[in-house]
Structure 1
Amino acid sequence: FLRFPATLELAFFGLMFAWIFGFGTGLLAAVRVDRPIDHVVRIFHIGSFAMPLFWLGLMLQVIFAVKLGWFPVATRIGGRIAFTFQSKTGFYLFDAIMSGNGKVIADVAKHLVLPSITLGFAQAGLLGRMTRASMLEVLDADYVTTARAKGLKERIVIMRHALRNALIPIVTVFGLQFAILMGGAVLTETVFSWPGIASFLVRSIESRDWPAIQGAIVFIAIFISVINLLVDIAYSFIDPRVRY
């Protein structure tokens, strides 16, 4: 399971992309509800959630790698740098940062951009829709109206009073997305030739290597269970009422 760090690194940055764009646009749509920006964001959420991962990955490769040449087409690291770079943990970006070599850091980071966007794009739409719905529900609550009546600034009302109470369902979706990302990683790793556990699982299925298939599935299931446990623990920090 030396391939697992590659998949985990890709899933982490894909989830960060989904969080930044999904949570950010969902919050923006909730604050500007029924305004033009709200309608634009909602269309973006629906489109991103409906877009096939493999098609998006191929389009990103054609536009940003082949046509513009801004990013590499595939793999985790450039061929020349791979001869001199040695990864100790399996997390290439972490090892590159620890090495202090700017060229290696830039190369590894560039290789992460397109696969991370591909993997996190659909989840950004799901997370954004959930954020918008949860925030709209909280913004209609009596305590938010009271906070506004007290003369608090709108930014304080949203960030301190509304957002924290809206985080429970958002965090739930955020945790469950790790499981979805593991499924999406199969397509993403195949398109970008990413040497992770998902591509290993695909090759094992093609060769009918049943012990390898069972081991990979059990390993992924254990990892997802741990993520769900961490999500449950996070509930107690967000809302003290759910502490056991």
Structure 2
Amino acid sequence: MGKANFIIRRTIQLVVTLWAVGTVLFGLFRLMPGDPTSYVVSSQMTQEARQQLIASYGLDQPLHIQYIKFLENLIVLEFGQSFHSNEPVTDIIVTYLPNTLVLMLTAFIAAYLIGITLGVLSGWYRGSRFERSTVITALVARSVPTFYVGLIVLWIFGAGLGVIPMSGMSDLGTGGGSFLEMMFSLDFLHHLLAPALVLGFYFMGYPLLIMRSSMLEVLSEDFIDVCRAKGLKERTIMFKHAARNALLPIVTAAAIALGYAVGGSVLIETVFAWPGIGREMVRAVLRRDFPVAQGTFMVLATTIIFLNFVADLAYGYLDPRVTYD
């Protein structure tokens, strides 16, 4: 019963948190200076035409009516139409979200594979030069802003050496075909390499430091001495026994890190002009396109909140020591 009550309680908290985020977004964009209708209302329009256009977006109604309709639309995942392009916001999100997911997942998987491996080795070889160098690398990766690293990479390898593309995810004239066909093309992989490595470098420090700390804790357990007493090889003890038992914090932290990875791709998409949902969100804010900005913000926030929820549930299932009483 304890676990069922915990799930119900966390689900209620999830809904309340989403409502709070939506409310903040609604108020935040309407408190911004400037006229959001300037992109859709031309100065050459007649007053009657301008009022009709503003009314079609519901901007002539009182704020509380706009707020109620905003919440009603959120429930059915309807974010309205873009002020800038007059497209449904849902279509815009569906268009750009896959690009973000490809970039984010590529960087995330590479970062966790490399970070976990380095974390295992640094924990195993504690006190060595290798451990000190990996810890310093992890701290640098977590401390240096991703946009700064991205600009340095573009300056050196893009503008200087010319070995990476400066922007976009494909060369001009190479489009066409399905999204899957484009994903596995050499041109797409060439454009993906630099932003994925920069983003992966930032993510790598998190699993590396967690895995190192977890390995140090596991290596102090008695069963490690038992494994050595049995005459098992050091490599077998390190990977099959120590690393396997040290993975629990990584598994549960991965869900949280995955959520923040989606939000963290905003800066990289802007620097590398990657046509993802993060870059589209920044462009929507700059041109005060309320529907697109609210929709993209809400998608990113929902992803982070939901993956935090999954992490809470996963920890209880993976670790039998956790209780819900």
Match of 1:65 among 153, 158, 174: 158
Equivalents in 1 of 2:303, 2:181: separation in Å?
Answer: 22
Match of 2:118 among 25, 33, 39: 25
Equivalents in 1 of 2:132, 2:253: separation in Å?
Answer: 22
Alpha-carbon contact 1:201-1:212 (below 8 Å) kept: yes
Equivalents in 2 of 1:112, 1:25: separation in Å?
Answer: 24
User: What value does the CA root-mean-square deviation take over the aligned residues?
Assistant: 2.4
Alpha-carbon contact 2:259-2:305 (below 8 Å) kept: no
**Alpha-carbon offset, residue 97 of structure 1:** 5.9
1:100-115 correspondence to structure 2 within 5 Å: 105-115=185-195
Identity %: 36
1:155-194 correspondence to structure 2 within 5 Å: 155-194=235-274
Alpha-carbon contact 1:115-1:192 (below 8 Å) kept: yes
Alpha-carbon contact 1:186-1:199 (below 8 Å) kept: yes
From the CA coordinates, give the structure whose radius of gyration is larger: 2
Alignment-mate amino acid for residue 183 of structure 1: G
**Alpha-carbon offset, residue 179 of structure 1:** 2.3
**Alpha-carbon offset, residue 214 of structure 1:** 2.1
Tell me the residue number matched to 1:196.
276
TM-score, normalisation: structure 1: 0.85
Tell me the residue number matched to 2:224.
144
Alpha-carbon contact 1:76-1:112 (below 8 Å) kept: yes
Tell me the residue number matched to 1:153.
233
Tell me the residue number matched to 2:16.
none
Match of 1:10 among 92, 100, 103: 103
The answer to whether residue 137 in structure 2 is matched with residue 44 in structure 1 is: yes
**Alpha-carbon offset, residue 229 of structure 1:** 5.5
Tell me the residue number matched to 2:178.
87
**Alpha-carbon offset, residue 62 of structure 1:** 1.7
Relative distance call for 1:61 and 1:28 in structure 2 (3 A) is: same
| TM superposition outliers: structure 1 runs of 4+ over 4 Å | 228-244
Alignment-mate amino acid for residue 55 of structure 1: Y
Equivalents in 2 of 1:240, 1:43: separation in Å?
Answer: 34
Relative distance call for 1:152 and 1:233 in structure 2 (3 A) is: farther
Kindly tell me the number of residue pairs found equivalent between the two proteins. Answer: 231
Relative distance call for 1:63 and 1:80 in structure 2 (3 A) is: same
Equivalents in 2 of 1:220, 1:120: separation in Å?
Answer: 19
Equivalents in 2 of 1:86, 1:232: separation in Å?
Answer: 41
Match of 2:148 among 55, 59, 70: 55
**Alpha-carbon offset, residue 208 of structure 1:** 2.0
Alpha-carbon contact 1:26-1:127 (below 8 Å) kept: yes
Residue aligned with 2:142, SS: helix
Superposed CA offset, 1:82-102 (max 9, x none): 2xx2234xxxxx33367xxxx
Alignment-mate amino acid for residue 275 of structure 2: P
Superposed CA offset, 1:53-95 (max 9, x none): 111001111222222222211101111212xx2234xxxxx33
Equivalents in 2 of 1:32, 1:110: separation in Å?
Answer: 36
Alignment-mate amino acid for residue 160 of structure 2: K
Alignment-mate amino acid for residue 118 of structure 2: T
Bigger mean CA offset, 17-26 vs 32-41: 17-26
Alpha-carbon contact 1:164-1:238 (below 8 Å) kept: no
Unaligned 5+ runs, structure 1: 89-93, 99-104
Equivalents in 2 of 1:168, 1:230: separation in Å?
Answer: 14
Residue aligned with 2:163, SS: coil
The answer to whether residue 284 in structure 2 is matched with residue 213 in structure 1 is: no
**Alpha-carbon offset, residue 27 of structure 1:** 1.5
